[in-house]
Amino acid sequence: MVLSEDPELQPVLFGLFLTMYLVTVLGNLLIVLAIGSDPRLHTPMYFFLCNLSLADVCFISTTVPNVIVDIQTRSRAISYVGCLTQMSLFIIFGCMDDLLLTVMAYDRFVAICHPLHYTVIMNPRLCAFLVLLSFLVSLMDCQLHNLITLRFPYFKGVEIANFFCDPSQILNLACSDTFTSNIVMYFVTAISGFLPISGILFSYYKIVSSILRIPSSGGKYKAFSTCGAHLAVVCLFYGTGFGVYLGSAVSHSPRKGAVASVMYTVVTPMLNPFIYSLRNRDIKSALRRLHHRTG
């Protein structure tokens, strides 16, 4: 489905989606380029941020380019293979975002609660393993969806009440057995929701406890400022995600649900680079040095 049936709004939607997509891609790639070109940013925190930015670029690229083409061609149809591919990539990179935020929370926990052992604990091998593990868990989550969906191998004339192949809606269409659907949804929710949130909450519980034990107010501010940007991104990511599902559950309006989905599929990846660059002196300095080198 499209976000609006009004022909006069189609050029506006086209320009809006295209602008948000370009801003997201350019912003996140600038973060990656700044981190990669500055040796001072070759630390675990910025390594994870670099991977998060790449995941954000891939995440938004699974949905928005297709929406832009659909608006331009006035087409709402998507092939069965195309829908499964979009759903699979959406799950992989969405789950990657989720798990990388958890890994970054653990990194901040080690940096603040165990500063003397930080370089030993967060060694390059562990950092690479955590990113690889995030990808493998995301891939497992995707395959679980596909195993259920492929039980119903043909969708003809089926309307999806969103502007992309929403995994939850596809799963409901493919799974006539409510019990099986519920079991899968509980398992997926545990992988991509409960466990990451629990890890983030536990990490920040320990972080806050350690910060409160710092005697000086300046020390407290300095310690908390190192995780302020990450905390803002976590609140934005989970706040918009929960807002979409709670709002759609209350309103029961497919169009409102589709509009709300724009928040976490498009707006959140777009805002992440701004949050990290505006709240992080190291990133701003790296971007200025990058600008001077290329200017």
If 0-12 CB within 10 Å is exposed, 13-18 middle and 19+ buried, where does residue 250 land? Answer: exposed
- Cβ-contact 60, 265 below 8 angstroms: yes
| Domain layout of the chain by residue ranges | 7-294
**What band does 179 get if pLDDT is binned at 50, 70 and 90?**
low
User: Measured between alpha carbons, how far is 165 from 151 in angstroms, rounded to an integer?
Assistant: 17
Least confident of 82-96, 107-121, 144-158: 144-158
CA dihedral of 162, 188, 50, 267, whole degrees rounded to 10: 30
Q: State the number of CA atoms in the 13 A half-sphere of 84 facing the CB.
A: 16
Is the model more confident about 57 or about 239? 57
Asked whether the beta carbons of 184 and 190 are under 8 A apart, the reply is no
The residue type of 146 is N
Distance of alpha carbon 145 from alpha carbon 151, whole angstroms: 10
Q: Give the HSE-up count for residue 151: Cα atoms under 13 Å, Cβ half-sphere.
A: 16
pTM, entire model: 0.85
Higher pLDDT, 204 or 259: 204
Quick one: pLDDT at residue 1? 47
| pLDDT over 80 (residue 218) | no
Say yes or no: domain 7-294 is CATH 1.20.1070.10.
Answer: yes
Q: What distances in angstroms separate CA 176 from CA 152, 172, 182, 190, 236, one per listed residue?
A: 9, 7, 11, 22, 34
User: Is the CB of residue 129 less than 8 Å from the CB of residue 42?
Assistant: no
* pLDDT one-digit tens code per residue, 129-138: 999 999 999 9
Burial pattern 65-74, b for ≥16 Cβ within 10 A else e, equals: ebbbebbeee
Q: What is the pLDDT of residues 243-257, one digit of tens each?
A: 666 655 555 555 666
Q: Which residues contact 244 (CB under 8 A, 6 or more apart)?
A: 257, 260, 261, 263, 264
Cα dihedral 218, 219, 223, 226, rounded to 10, equals: 40
Mean predicted confidence (pLDDT) in 177-198: 70
Whether the per-residue pLDDT at 155 is higher than 80: the answer is: no
Structure tokens at 244: 């979409």
- pLDDT tens-digit profile of 223-250? 777 777 788 888 887 877 666 666 555 5
**Separation of CA 88 from chain center:** 14
| Cβ proximity of 269 and 60 under 8 Å | yes
